[in-house]
Amino acid sequence: MQPASHPRDELPALAIPVPVSATAARRSGRLADRLPGITLAAVLASLSLVLGSIDWLQANGMGAPTLAIVFGMIVGNTLYPQIAAIATDGVLFSKQHLLRLGIVLYGLRLSFQDIGQVGPAALVIDAIMLCSTFALSCFVGIRLLRLAPRTAMLIGAGSSICGAAAVMATEPIVRGRSEQVAVAISTVVAFGTLAIFLYPALYQLNARHALLPMSPAAFGIFAGSTIHEVAQVVAAGRSIAEDAANTAVIVKMVRVMMLAPFLLALSLYLPPRKQPEQSSSGDTARRRKQGRIAIPWFALGFLASVALSSLGILPAGAVQIAAGIDTFVLAMAMAALGLTTQISAVRSAGAKPLVLAGLLFAWLIAGGAAVNVAVTAWLG
């Protein structure tokens, strides 16, 4: 007769391996589920990087991120519905988590020393234009045009800071839907592209009629503080002079650095996300979490990257590699956004978002010129 085994003797063999293997299986499952969508986003990002290196497209402000969302929307409204069942997890991962990584890495391109190169006047101008443009977007978009608050905030963020990148960075805070993000990006890209051609024409018109005191350096501050995208700022500045382009880029970079405090302030202002009531024993803990402020930690990571870059301890080669990774990661996030955007949903938004973006564009030109002249005369 075999001796009876004690129940406790069997517990280690039964209890210990099961949780470990289950955890490994879940991790493996998550990776396997995400891989198709991540691969699709990476392929579209690679295509956008190749075509985005074409001089003509760069000169017209059509960089890799913009092309990535266009390619994503094309595929998303044609082939993607047939493979959505296997690609959705990876696409959502690229749109959300890789976006945050891209914002953090973006900070390595900037430094706090950039502020000292343009002086206090440019810093004040950037702050005024950011706050006034976003406030105007919320007031006109929500109160007058009756747009969804998320749409108005996303359009305001893109117009007031740095175009599509600001829209994507603001999306986790306002929790906008894919079609709202796509509408915001399309409007800021459209008017930002128009700025590439309009700003040099306005500079030449002002030079002929001497309407405002506007040297090439002053034009650089004006362009950097009011044009949407970095690539568009470069294109508009170089059409005037190299000095104008250099000043415009520095002012624009200072404006981009304001993205992190803007996101922090917005997260403090917006109410916490509401969740349905729970009937389980964890109700109390969940309600406590609902009352907490959602701090965008990736914005703090962005500031940390800027501080690290400002110390000058990173090798130039490492910074260049990080910038390349950042460009690719942001392109993947843009492609993923395009994949999850349905043209029918964007079309249903109507003309109001375009009207709002147009009004903000007019404010950036006319109001921006007035603010530039007034602050420059005040601070010198």
pLDDT in tens, 366-378: 999 999 999 988 8
pLDDT in tens, 117-172: 778 899 999 999 999 999 999 999 999 999 999 999 999 999 999 888 889 889 88
What is the Cα Rg of the chain in Å?
24
CA distance 67 to 270: 32
pLDDT in tens, 200-224: 889 888 888 888 878 888 899 999 9
| Tokens matching residue 207 | 């030079």
Per-domain residue ranges of the chain? 36-271+293-379
pLDDT in tens, 177-201: 888 888 898 888 788 878 878 898 8
Q: Which residue has the higher pLDDT, 303 or 90?
A: 90
pLDDT in tens, 267-319: 888 866 554 434 344 444 444 444 344 445 676 788 888 889 889 888 989 98
- Is the per-residue pLDDT at 17 higher than 80? no
Question: Is the overall model pTM greater than 0.85, yes or no?
Answer: no
